[in-house]
Amino acid sequence: MIKGTDDTRYAYVNGIISAREARLLTKSHFDRLIASTLSNFATIISDSPYIGHEDITAGFDLEEDRVGDFFRKYCQHTKIQQYIDWPQQIHNMKVKLKEGSDSLLYAQPGAEIEDWPETIEEIERFAVSKDPFILSTNLDKILCKYLYNTAQTLPFFEGYFRISFDLENIRSFFRARHFENTHEIFNQVFIEYGSIGRKKFVDNLKSEYDVLGKNFFTTPYAALLDKGGAYIKQRNSFLRLERICEEIRLQFLLAARRMTFGVEPLFAYYQFKLAEIKKLRQVYWGKLNEVEIDDLKESIAGVW
């Protein structure tokens, strides 16, 4: 078991979290949501905090704000707080630099990333190049560098971010294969801080889908590449790849539920709530746009 922070200051809130986890939506809820019509959506989740709004999607947004407030109220580690704040600040910076709508911004008062030397340099570069793809990918890599460096003395978070970087590199590996300038795109988006080196991916960018599992058999992700690649080849769809990636991430977070003390259960609960809200949005908008039931089932991560 990965060692946690064991901070006894979190004993009280971790008791609250245990009770809240019992109220998370279950597989049964989502099976019913997928099988039913959109008119029954609110009825199926009537015992959840998402109900009571004229527009059901407003309930998703409000609950996302609530769980963020809950996390910030009880998180007593500035460093762990940054793991939530920094990605939102990076997102806001991208929106502003690309002159996007204010409706896309997080209600994030902090802006400490604007003082990072790397982001200052990137903003200056964007003022000249005006390339939004380079801007987004470079800002993402800067964020990953800071997350990686600050997690080095925290085994749970170091492991979580390493897996997150691995999964993002695997997603990028499959996406880049669909472009003519495959190597150029992959090298631009590759994150340095995962457990699989750049060369392993680059050497397999042109490999057939049916040999990827074998070629990556020494990594923890052989089954992901095998099953995700096979589905892409068969259906030209990333649904299975995305689902398994999310299941691997959530499976790692489950370890926090066995911790009595420390900030890890709070962080994991926050992530599980966001994952639940994401699933609800997937099903709701899928139903609204008449997405096939099999595709909806394929998209929902089966970790609860």
Torsion angle of the four alpha carbons 279, 250, 72, 23, in this order, in degrees rounded to the nearest 10:
60
Query: Looking at the predicted structure, is the pLDDT value of residue 52 above 90?
Result: no
Query: Looking at the predicted structure, is the pLDDT value of residue 53 above 90?
Result: no
Give the C-alpha distances (Å, rounded to integers) separating 96 from 61, 69, 92.
21, 24, 6
Span 36-51, average pLDDT: 92
- Rounded CA gap, 253 and 256, in Å? 6
Q: Are 250 and 21 in contact (CB under 8 A)?
A: no
Q: Phi and psi at residue 12, in whole multiples of 5°?
A: -65, -55
- Rounded CA gap, 7 and 244, in Å? 32
- Rounded CA gap, 261 and 124, in Å? 44
Q: What is the pLDDT of residues 128-146, one digit of tens each?
A: 999 999 999 999 999 999 9
Place 55 in a pLDDT band, splitting at 50, 70 and 90: confident
- Rounded CA gap, 228 and 209, in Å? 9
Average pLDDT, the chain: 95
Q: What is the pLDDT of residues 10-40, one digit of tens each?
A: 999 999 999 999 999 999 999 999 999 999 9
Query: Looking at the predicted structure, is the pLDDT value of residue 1 above 70?
Result: no
Q: What is the pLDDT of residues 174-232, one digit of tens each?
A: 999 999 999 999 999 999 999 999 999 999 999 999 999 999 999 999 999 999 999 99
Half-sphere exposure of 91 (CA within 13 A, CB side): 14
Query: Looking at the predicted structure, is the pLDDT value of residue 252 above 70?
Result: yes
- Rounded CA gap, 89 and 86, in Å? 5
Residue 287, both tokens: 């139903």
Q: What pLDDT is recorded for position 238?
A: 97
Q: Is 50 helix (H, G, I), strand (E, B) or coil?
A: coil
Q: What pLDDT is recorded for position 50?
A: 92
Q: Which of 267, 244, 245, 248 is nearest to 256 (CA)?
A: 267
Q: Is 185 helix (H, G, I), strand (E, B) or coil?
A: helix
- Rounded CA gap, 55 and 61, in Å? 10
Span 5-10, average pLDDT: 90
Residue 221, both tokens: 């992700």
